[in-house]
Structure 1
Amino acid sequence: MKIIIAGDGKVGATLTRQLTSEGYDVTVIDSKLSPLESSVERYDVISVQGNCASMDILRQAGVRDADLLIAATGADEVNLLCCTTAHAMNPRLHTIARVRNPEYTEQIYKMRETFGLSMLINPENQAATEIDRLLKYPGFLRRDTFAQGRTEIVELRVDAKSKLCDVRLADMQKIIRCKVLVCAVLRGGQAVTPGGDFVLQAGDRLFITALSENLTTLLKNLGILSRQARRVMLCGGGRVSYYLAAKLLKAGIGCVIIDNSAARCKELCTLLPGAEIILGDASDQDLLDSEGLSQCDALVTLTGLDELNMIVSLYGISQGVPQVITKLGHADKGSIVSSLALGSVVCPKELCCSNIVRYVRAMQNQTGAALSVHTIADGQIEAMEFLADENTKYCGVPLKDIRMKSSVRVVSISHGAATEIANGDSVYQQGDTIIVVTNSGVILRQLNDIFA
């Protein structure tokens, strides 16, 4: 499959890395030479320098022979024009555009055919949705939802005071008193698939498969506060803050937004009349204290600087804020981030890239393609959702009797509205939804790829 990526910024570079690792034929377009040279040096790609919305540049990139174009430049208008032009040059081309300005949302959905769009992505809105979900269950560092909301993979950190510290996984059931499956543990920056004799230690990050209905029970029996936030402080007044604040206010949750731009604060006052907008520096300790940081139920750091977000989050944790969520624009700080207690970490570019990769895999194999793809454990593990169809092997056979690839594990099976955490005696039938986890280096384009 031939893919053109227009824009070699953070999203474009992440997509280039992921898609080239899966063997796709990738051509990258950017107006600047420096990022293109870096991509050519690191990956097996073709580069074209120029304006991606130009017919001449698109022609040089081979748009007439391409299967998919992803427009991810920093300008919404350029992305839309790029997709429209490319689709006119190649009507069978699939196109994906990144559009971040909320003013365009309604008209784009109404004019998708006019723009020639197959898919629209908004990293900031996706990040706000993810943060909103985390605020509803303060005990979890991360939540990934499958099977139409019936199953989730949640992340928990084990600290020295945790009920799970020094506990064997085989004995975990006695503490949590609900059925779950620990599908991965991140220890010392390395993801492992644990067995029953695995002993949990302080600092471990657990990735637990559980039915959505059991999440409250899980937190309660671990002694983790799960009361929903009533007042949230947002540091940074960018697009993620806007989308998130709108969701919080709609749910009746009070929010304070701190931003250092007077013009942006005035704009936010107009857009979000129910929010408290503060003009100031989010790194100013006196300002944070005077605005009642220690009395907030949650702190979300959303400035454009990763380092600033980390520092403010660490201060919030030191002041006893029950829930802290940190936005990071760069995901290549894995070992550093995992060693810091930053609360939940959300990366907008990773969220949108996961959705695009799922779309690409579905194009590659329309039958049996993954319904959803989530990357967990600092990118080392993938959790994927499949639908068993008439081509799926071993329907009705217990999992213990099926030879699967060593790196693959079935964690959940949904039979219509009934969902179970998988065990050796579990079976699946045609029409069931199956969730599997695997090392990120193993590519599963369809359900039958899990078998040895």
Structure 2
Amino acid sequence: MKILIAGDGKVGASLTRELTAAGYDITLIDSKQNVLDSSIERFDVMAIRGNCASMEILEEAGVKDADLLIAVTSADEVNLLCCLTAHGMNPDIHTIARIRNPEYSKQIYRMRGIFALSLSVNPEKQAAIEIEHLLKYPGFLKRDSFAKGRLEIVELRIGSDSKLKDLALNDLDSVAKCKVLVCVVLRKGKVIAPDGNFVLQEGDRIFVTAPTDNLTILLKNLGIITHKVRRVMICGGGKVSYYLAERLKKSGMIVQIIEQDYEKCLDLAKRLPGASIIHGDASNQALLESEGIQDCDALITMTGMDEQNIIISLYGNNCGVPQVITKVGHLDHTKIIENLPIGSIVSPKELCTNAIVRYVRAMHNQEGAAITVYGIADGQAEALEFLVEKDTRYCGVPLKNMETKKNILIAGISHKARTEVPDGESSFEVGDTVVVVSGRDEVLYQLDDIFE
């Protein structure tokens, strides 16, 4: 499959890494030669310098033979024009545009056909939804949902006082007192697929699969006290903050936004009646204290600088804020910050990349493509959900009798309304959905790809 990526910024680079690793033929288009040179050095790609909305540049990039165009430049209008032009030159091409401006949300949805868009993505809106989910269900660093919300993979960190510290996974049931499965462990930046004899250590980040009801039981038995979030302090007044505040206000939460740019404050005050908009520097300790950081239920740091977000989150943790969420734009920082007490980490870039990769896989494999795809363990593993179809292998066969490839784990099976963490006697039937956790050494396009 030939794919054109217009815009070689953060999301463009992330997509290039993911899609070249999967073996796709990638051509990059960007106006900056130094950015393209960097990508050429790192990846096996073609690169064209120029305006991606220009017919001449698109023709040079091979748009007439391309299967997909992904427009992720910094300008929404350029992305739309790029997709529209590409479709005019090649009516069979699929097009994906990143559209971030809240003012365009409704018309993009209503006029998708006119704009010739196969898919539009909004990383900031996706991040807001992710953060809202974390606020409504506190206690975990991250939550990814499957089987229409009935099954989840959650991330926990093993602290010095955790009941899971120094516990062998064979003994997990005695502490959890419900059925859960530790599918991946991240220890010192390295992914481990644990067996029953694996012993958890302080500092481990573990990824646990369980039906949603069991997660509540798990938190209770681990002594992790969850709290109802009523008052939220948001540092930074960008697009994510706007989308999030809009959603939180509908849930009845009290929202404070601290923003340094006065014009942005005026705009937010106009768009978000009822929210408290504070003009000031969110990294100013005196300001945070005067606005009551010690009394808020959640602190969300979403300034435009990762370093500033991290520092404010560290201070919030030190002040005893029950829940801290940190937005990170550069995932390259993950290994540096993974052991810092900055709560949950949310990356709009990662969420956007996941959505586009899921679409690409569905294009590659029209039947049997993954319903859901999440990157977990800092992108070193994947969790995918597949529908069991009539020609899927091993239907009705116990898991213990299946021959699966190395580094593949069947982590959950949903039989209509019933969802289970499987054991060796479990099986799946046509119409069920199956959640699979896999290493990144092989791309899974359909469920049969997990079998030898």
User: Which TM-score bucket, shorter chain as reference?
Assistant: over 0.9
Q: Which residue of 1 aligns with 2:198?
A: 198
Residue in structure 2 matched with residue 87 of structure 1 by the alignment:
87
**What is aligned with 1:325?**
325
The Cα of 1:339 is off from its aligned counterpart by 2.4
- Which deviates more, 223-232 or 124-133? 223-232
Q: Secondary structure at the match of 1:114?
A: coil
Q: Percent identity?
A: 61
Counterpart Cα distance in 2 of 1:289 and 1:25: 53
- Map Cα deviations across residues 224-273 of structure 1 (whole Å, 9 max, x no partner): 12122110100000000000001111000111100100100011111111
Which position in structure 1 is the counterpart of 2:135?
135
The residue aligned with 1:149 is 149
- Tell me the distance in 2 between the aligned counterparts of 1:23 and 1:175: 43
Q: Does the residue aligned with 2:26 lie in a helix, a strand or coil?
A: strand
More displaced stretch, 156-165 vs 90-99: 156-165
Q: Which digits, 9 at most, give the CA deviation of each residue in 1:396-438, with x for residues without a partner?
A: 1000001100110001011111111111111011111000001
State the partner residue of 2:101. Answer: 101
Letter in 2 for 1:373: V
Deviation at 1:334, TM superposition (A): 2.6
Which residue does the alignment assign to 1:120?
A: 120
How far apart, CA to CA, are the structure 2 residues paired with 1:348 and 1:441? Answer: 24
Runs of 4+, deviation exceeding 6 Å? none
Tell me how far 1:297 sits from its aligned partner. Answer: 0.6
Q: How far apart are 1:213 and its partner, in Å?
A: 1.9
Note the C-alpha offset of 1:340.
1.5
Tell me, in whole angstroms, the C-alpha distance in 1 between the residues paired with 2:288 and 2:197: 45
Alpha-carbon separation, structure 2, partners of 1:300 and 1:335: 21
Matched residue, 1:247 = 247
Matched residues in 2 for 1:310 and 1:333: separation? 11
**Residue type of the alignment partner of 1:394:** Y
Q: Counterparts of 1:23 and 1:133 in 2: how far apart (Å)?
A: 34
What pairs with 1:31-430 in structure 2 (closer than 5 Å)?
31-430=31-430
Q: Partners in 1 of 2:21 and 2:4 — Cα distance?
A: 15
Aligned length in residues: 452
- Look up the match of 1:25: 25
1:436 partnered with 2:436? yes
What 5-or-longer segments of structure 2 have no aligned partner? Answer: none
CA distance in 2, matches of 1:314, 1:359: 37
Q: CA deviation at 1:167?
A: 1.4
Residue-by-residue CA offset, 1:174-215 (whole Å, 9 max, x unaligned): 112111100011111111111111111111111000101222
Specify the SS of the correspondent of 1:28: strand
Mapped to 2, the partners of 1:380 and 1:341 lie a distance apart of 21
TM-score with structure 1 length normalisation? Answer: 0.99
The alpha-carbon deviation at position 48 of structure 1 amounts to: 0.6
Query: 2:442 and 2:333 mapped to 1: Cα distance?
Result: 23
Counterpart CA distance in 1 for 2:232 and 2:69 is 39
Flag structure 1 segments of 5+ consecutive residues without an equivalent. Answer: none
Deviations 1:289-337 (A, max 9, x none): 1111011111000001000000000111111111000000010123202
TM-score norm. by structure 2 comes to 0.99
Query: Which amino acid in the other structure matches residue 422 of structure 1?
Result: P
How far the C-alpha of 1:216 sits from its partner, in A, is: 1.6
Structure 2 counterpart SS, 1:92: coil
One-letter amino acid matched to 2:262: A
Q: Which whole-Å CA distance do the structure 2 matches of 1:246 and 1:315 have between them? A: 26
Q: Tell me the alpha carbon deviations over residues 83-108 of structure 1, each in whole angstroms, 9 at most, x when there is no partner.
A: 01101111110000000001101111
After superposing the two structures, state which structure 1 stretch, 165-174 or 249-258, moved more.
Answer: 165-174
State the one-letter code of the partner of 1:180: V
- Distance in 1, Cα, partners of 2:211 & 2:79: 39
Q: Secondary structure at the match of 1:115?
A: coil
> Which residue type is aligned with residue 102 of structure 2?
P
SS at match of 1:341: coil
With 204-213 and 118-127 compared, the bigger mean Cα shift is at 204-213
2:405 and 2:243 mapped to 1: Cα distance?
41
CA deviation vs aligned residue, 1:348-372 (integer Å, no higher than 9, x gap): 0000101111110110111111111
- CA-based RMSD of the aligned residues comes to 0.8
Q: Distance in 2 between matches of 1:354 and 1:423?
A: 29
Whether contact under 8 Å (1:182, 1:194) holds in the other structure is yes
Equivalent position SS for 1:107:
helix
2:359 & 2:244 partners in 1: Cα distance? 25
The residue number in structure 1 matching 2:8 is 8
> In the alignment, is the contact (CA less than 8 A) between 1:182 and 1:209 conserved in 2?
yes
Q: What one-letter code is carried by the residue in structure 2 that aligns with 1:310?
A: I
